[in-house]
Structure 1
């Protein structure tokens, strides 16, 4: 019996692609962004760096909570958001393979 739906074409594209330019953060006096993720960065490298930034953010917020600085409820909510964002990034990295065909490292 013939298949009614053909197989999708094979793709040679890696699981992780390149980044697009993405400005973020504060603007200078001429309303230009000071910070920018440049286009062409390997997406896997960008995700690894994002995960490290989220881990550092979590550690700082945790220290603030443990030492009694700031409003505990607000700091705990930041911890929850950072932890959730990092989990999503790490899940992408752990679930895929790198562009070189080996499991992505976190």
Structure 2
């Protein structure tokens, strides 16, 4: 068996940005579902937009804390953009899913 150090490493450019987008996609959908369950409003679009903004501000806050409170990490504007991209994808996903559900009724 070969030692782990002999295994070639694979470098995928900007993989961390994809991870940020995926995390905030899931994060936004989960917050929307939580808000939907907790707040009995007919206008769920406002709850969805609230979840997107919550995700965005959370991501900005984490980047600020990384740059201010750690010496091994830096804040990155492109991480914030990746976070926002994931949140927007979640917004569109939920809106399309709602439209499909509405059309099937």
TM-score, with structure 2 as normaliser = 0.37
Structure index of larger Rg: 1
TM-score, normalised by the number of residues in structure 1: 0.37
Q: Which structure has the higher relative contact order (CA within 8 Å, separation 6+)?
A: 2
